[in-house]
Chains A and B, each alone.
Chain A
């Protein structure tokens, strides 16, 4: 229609679904925050140790962001201006750390950089002293492992947003590589780098499992870890709440900053623009790009390869007892992953179908709050009435769903919006309302987005080592928690074996959901 049809008089379940989903999210996020704030006010003291935790949290996140970005720029540039066999696969691989369970990655990093790892074996063979992975540099190393690929994808989007014509024009004007960088690439980087850095910074602020395994001690404790310790060592809920409040402000500000500055989130699927580069023909540049890509691949794939190798050995030598505990924990994790996925999709669909933009924004709230803070709040709320350990499963499901929700909303909302833009008028004309509209229009049209989002949610919930540590009793564990306990008991072989099981389950869940979504999709 020449002047755009504005739909009027919609009578369907969209508003209802939106309100229900929004209500759940608000209650599940705000109520724990209120509980934390109230508890923190009643007599929390902020000691020297807590200040050190705050400082360490900011320093490690800052360093992680700095290194991730500095290393990501050359990798993204090499990927942007080269076409080589396996390039597409490599870019897909760069998305993999997102769904890689943190504890598995840490096992892989330990296998290379840890006490008995490849690096120290090499140093010993050369007669050099061993290096330690635990502490600030270990935490930063693990964060760079996770965020270098993410930063690369974000910056690559920036490169691909430069119109091909600019490079053609540069070639016709006789730009040298240096001119291309300063006239074309540097302005793009100025626009993209601050956002990418802030995203990585915000993510690293609330990373818990990395600090739990590679940090610790008075000099390498993050706020999240301090919350956990306030729980487990002192059972000081007021102090945990106080720390939670500080963490909430910190992450909230960083997430807000990232949301205002960020141009892209590295989350898109298609990344295959074809741009002819006339300025990058020199052999020095070719060699530099090849080396960069090779090193980045090695850095990302190496730890995963190591955990597969060690895990294969480890699982062969696991005792029947350990196998039984790993299988039981796997069962718990699978149940959690499937329930959390169902909840995430329901909420994301509800928020996406509501026609208010703020509903979508609500779904993104999960980015701004850390799981341990939510967990602390839920614990404070539940503790007076029930034994928290008895509610470990529903709490883990709910918190995992809330944490996956931002990503699910980012994937599903555009698909739902497209279905409504393309077919909403036809559906209105035919009287497709309520459940029929959901069944015959929304679900089929957003099928591949739903599959992808389900895969992400399932893998994230499967591999999560977060809120469960506050609620689980010693007899009950999820698979990541069981692996952490095996590591704590110095059973590294068994931990590696269980790590391979976890890796297979996480990636398997992602693959199954994603494939189901893509099957039989019509143009």
Chain B
């Protein structure tokens, strides 16, 4: 269980508070108007946004002061998910060892991850030699190898076309299910949320609300969400 306890983030005139828990293995959409703090919410869990108050725990273990890399969390950002100067295989290998001194077994694992995302043989290519969809697959393969119990998606596929985006989200969801990982994804598309995530966290009016049933929330949205969904 991922628990945010009395969490409060203040940056200039922006505030976000949260007091909620997310069950292990849950799939949760994070929705809300732009600028409400969806990215900040994810960034706080990943350790990139300092907390003004509160605690974050995972299965009772306190993460509040842990460095991003030692948290049980893998995250995909809106952009800059791959190092352009490293090959696809190296980018994936970083998920196993940040200094890239990989053993033979680890190299094999990288090859298998490439295969799993449908990129067999493309390991030596650099990101600039791959299409947008293929670049996303490389990032997903790395998340696969990181094998962390929590996966955060901050709209990493927003730049892809609608069909490709759906394909990538399905791939991540399928992978998360395989690893029994908890998945939180920021979403601007109610269809994605409804299709993939049984639960939804609404971020609006300076608060991240506790997860609710996605179908119930979308069927009768509160005013803040209704204005946003249009």
Residues of A within 8 A of B (CB): 1-11, 422-423, 425-426, 428-433, 435-436, 439-441, 444-445, 447, 522-523
B69 lies within 8 A of A436 (CB): no
| Nearest CB of chain B from residue A11's CB, rounded to whole Å | 6
Contact status B100-A429, CB under 8 Å:
no
B67 x A9 contact (CB < 8 A): yes
Contact with A along B89-108 (1 / 0, CB 8 A): 00000110011100000000
A11-B74 Cα distance, complex, nearest whole Å: 19
B85 close to A444 (CB less than 8 A): yes
Knowing A2-B37, A2-B40, A522-B128, say if A429 contacts B69 (CB, 8 Å).
yes
A selection of 5 A-B contacts at a CB cut-off of 8 Å is A8-B47, A9-B65, A428-B67, A431-B98, A522-B85
Cα distance A428–B67 in the bound complex, in angstroms: 8
**In the complex, what residues of A have CB within 8 A of residue B75's CB?**
429
The residue that A1 contacts in the complex, of B48, B65, B66, B94, with Cβ under 8 A, is: B48
Cα–Cα, bound, A6→B94 (Å): 23
**Most chain B beta-carbon neighbours within 10 Å: one of A4, A11, A426:** A426
Contact of A441 among B48, B50, B83 (CB under 8 A): B83
Inter-subunit contact A436/B65 (CB<8 Å) = no
Count B-side interface residues using an 8 Å CB cutoff: 40
In the docked arrangement, what's the CA distance between A490 and B68, Å? 68
Considering the chains assembled together, what is the distance between the CA atoms of A464 and B102 in angstroms? Answer: 46
Contact A436 B100 (CB under 8 A): yes
Q: For chain B, residues 28 to 45, give those with C-beta under 8 angstroms from any C-beta of chain A.
A: 34-40, 43
Considering the complex, give the chain A residue whose CB is closest to the CB of B11: A3
Question: Contact between A426 and B80 (Cβ–Cβ < 8 Å)?
Answer: yes
CB distance from A10 to the nearest CB of B (A): 8
CB distance from B25 to the nearest CB of A (A): 22
Chain B residues at the A interface, C-beta cutoff of 8 Å: 11-12, 14, 34-40, 43, 46-50, 65-70, 74-75, 77, 80-81, 83-86, 94-95, 98-100, 126-128, 154
User: Cβ of B11 and Cβ of A426 under 8 Å apart?
Assistant: no
Q: How far is the CB of A433 from chain B (nearest CB, A)?
A: 7
Which of B36, B49, B126 has the most chain A CB atoms closer than 10 A to its own CB?
Answer: B49
Q: With A and B bound together, what is the CA distance between A433 and B128 in angstroms? A: 25
A1 lies within 8 A of B49 (CB): yes
Question: What are the residues of chain A within 8 A of B94 when measuring CB–CB?
Answer: 430, 432, 440
Are A426 and B83 in contact, CB atoms less than 8 angstroms apart? yes
Are the C-beta atoms of A6 and B49 separated by less than 8 Å?
Answer: yes
Q: Which residues of A contact B37 (CB under 8 A)?
A: 2-3
Interface contact A523-B47, CB-CB below 8 Å: no
Query: With A426-B77, A430-B69 as given contacts, are A1 and B43 in contact (CB-CB < 8 Å)?
Result: yes
Q: Which residue of B lies closest to A10 (CB)?
A: B67
Of the residues A5, A10, A425, A430, contact of B98 by C-beta under 8 Å: A430
Residue pair A428, B40 in contact (C-beta under 8 Å): no
User: In the assembled complex, which residues on chain B have CB atoms less than 8 Å from the CB atom of A447?
Assistant: 85
A430 to B40, CA, bound (A): 19
Q: Which of B14, B47, B86, B98 has the most CB of A within 10 A?
A: B98
Report the minimal beta-carbon distance from A504 to chain B, rounded to whole angstroms. 33
- Cβ 8 A contact of B99, one of A3, A9, A426, A435: A435
Smallest Cβ distance from A415 to chain B, in angstroms? 13
Shortest CB-to-CB span from B144 to chain A, Å, is 14
Complex Cα distance A95/B34, Å? 47
